[in-house]
Structure 1
Amino acid sequence: MCGRFSLFSSFEDIIQAFDVEKMINEDEYTKNYNIAPTQNILSIINDGQMNRMGYLSWGLIPSWSKDPKIRTKMINARSETVVEKPSFRESFKRRRCLIPMDSFFEWQQISSSKQPFRIKMKNDQLFAVAGLWDTWRSSTGEKINSCTMLTTSPNELMSSLHHRMPVILPTKAYETWLNTLEQDTQLLQSLLVPYPASDMEAYAVSTAVNSVRNNDQSLIQQIS
């Protein structure tokens, strides 16, 4: 699964990496070293004409749901069953997004405790995880745009840390994934595979990352 990540790249780098044409105001973007579920996270969608940047609440609330609290169980979606699950299948067809990040965190069980690890690209490159989004409206008119991250089986690097990993898409797949007219299930699912371990690295970080109250650059520093 993926339950915590970081995004601290510059505003300009994000725009360039994802060919964003319609963006939020730069002062709305805040670097974040400890992003957690239910928070609003920066996401990229395509509106049929251009790539747009905006915030989505992390934890999908299906449009038909009666209770928005379901979001806490919807931070991740298994890529193997996303076509079948009622909570995700319509979004998989029409509402796909990219979730930019610089790294994500996973916890490895060591004896009686869990050690957090930071996982990133070896070249420190910004990357994107495949996501789905939906819009939920309450009976009183409240509107929440929310999202989930897709997961897949782990690559060689991740297998020692967890039995799942987020679906990291290669740059060449961004356009296909965001294309709202693309509904070829086989083609889309062919993108949902483990990212090459050879391009990634993982290292232990401070347990300070365990608390969402902590949010600074020290959380991404390697510890011995």
Structure 2
Amino acid sequence: MCGRFTFTTTPDKIMERFDLSEILFELQPRFNIAPGQPIPAIIEDQGQRRIGRLRWGLIPSWAKDEKIGYKMINARAETLQEKPAFRNLFARKRCLIPADSFYEWRQTEKGKQPMRIMMKNEEPFAFAGLFDTWTGPEGQKVHTCTIVTTKPNEVVKDIHDRMPVILRQEDEGVWLDREKYDADLLQSLLVPYDATQMRAYPVSAMVGSPKNDVPDCIKEITEPA
């Protein structure tokens, strides 16, 4: 599962890292992004990458009630081609969700300890995402997304039994290319990220509330003895 993440990278660095020509909205540092909120997402249209905002929590186009989105913040990589909500999106509506860390909670003798998981070099990366557009009863269009998850790597496995799919930078273009659909190739990208490039450290329990979206959320603490 992936239920919280951060994206604190500066707009200039985002444009360079993800090959974007412009960002048409104000991008503020986010230290505790939660489901139901608008999040940055990157798609490719006729060879050009564009970044916009999608609501986190997928509402399939055929859904009768938008509340289903709160149950679909993640999509399991192993069953993408089987689930009706994801099968067509896997073929045609793939996106990148930029981030620079995510949170998971490790069970300890004294309760759950939130951990921040990130790259050792602190560089931004991209989750594999799927998106869709739902039209409400009054004609309003809602653009939403979900984050693909996979089994954990060596850094994450002692914290949680799932982790978000982090794409290798060289594979991001393949994931975004909607003109070439090779299910086996795409499925091969949905694997745990190289653990040797990642680290995890404990952070304050304040990240448990999405109301807390401040730099202290990512501050490393000393775990309770």
How far 1:180 sits from its partner (Å)? 0.8
Listed one character per residue, the Cα deviations across residues 23-54 of structure 1 (whole Å, up to 9, x for unaligned) are 313xx211110000000000100012300000
Which residue number in structure 1 is paired with residue 88 of structure 2? 90
C-alpha distance in structure 1 between counterparts of 2:44 and 2:79, whole Å: 24
How far 1:215 sits from its partner (Å)? 1.1
Q: Does 1:10 align with 2:6?
A: no
**Pairwise CA RMSD:** 0.9
C-alpha distance in structure 1 between counterparts of 2:214 and 2:136, whole Å: 35
TM-score between the two structures when normalised by the length of structure 2:
0.97
Instruction: State the percentage of identical aligned residues.
Output: 51
Listed one character per residue, the Cα deviations across residues 94-122 of structure 1 (whole Å, up to 9, x for unaligned) are 00000011100000111251000000000
1:5 touches 1:36 (CA, 8 Å); kept in 2? yes
2:173 equivalent among 172, 175, 178: 175
SS in 2 for 1:120: strand
How far 1:182 sits from its partner (Å)? 2.0
Which residue number in structure 1 is paired with residue 46 of structure 2? 48
1:126 equivalent among 116, 124, 129: 124
Which residue number in structure 2 is paired with residue 32 of structure 1? 30
Equivalent pairs, count = 222
Q: Does 1:208 align with 2:213?
A: no
SS in 2 for 1:80: helix
Aligned residue identity for 1:72: Y
Which residue number in structure 1 is paired with residue 112 of structure 2? 114
Listed one character per residue, the Cα deviations across residues 63-98 of structure 1 (whole Å, up to 9, x for unaligned) are 000000000110000000001100111111000000
1:22 touches 1:51 (CA, 8 Å); kept in 2? no
Which residue number in structure 1 is paired with residue 55 of structure 2? 57
C-alpha distance in structure 1 between counterparts of 2:24 and 2:74, whole Å: 25
SS in 2 for 1:168: coil
Q: Would you identify which runs of 4 or more consecutive aligned residues in structure 1 move more than 6 Å? A: none
Aligned residue identity for 1:221: K
2:97 equivalent among 88, 96, 99: 99
Aligned residue identity for 1:2: C
SS in 2 for 1:169: coil
How far 1:22 sits from its partner (Å)? 4.6
C-alpha distance in structure 2 between counterparts of 1:6 and 1:65, whole Å: 29
Which residue number in structure 2 is paired with residue 23 of structure 1? 23
SS in 1 for 2:21: strand
Q: Mind listing any 5+ residue stretches in structure 2 that lack a counterpart?
A: none
C-alpha distance in structure 2 between counterparts of 1:214 and 1:140, whole Å: 33
1:77 touches 1:150 (CA, 8 Å); kept in 2? yes
C-alpha distance in structure 2 between counterparts of 1:124 and 1:115, whole Å: 21
Q: Mind listing any 5+ residue stretches in structure 1 that lack a counterpart?
A: none
2:106 touches 2:113 (CA, 8 Å); kept in 1? yes
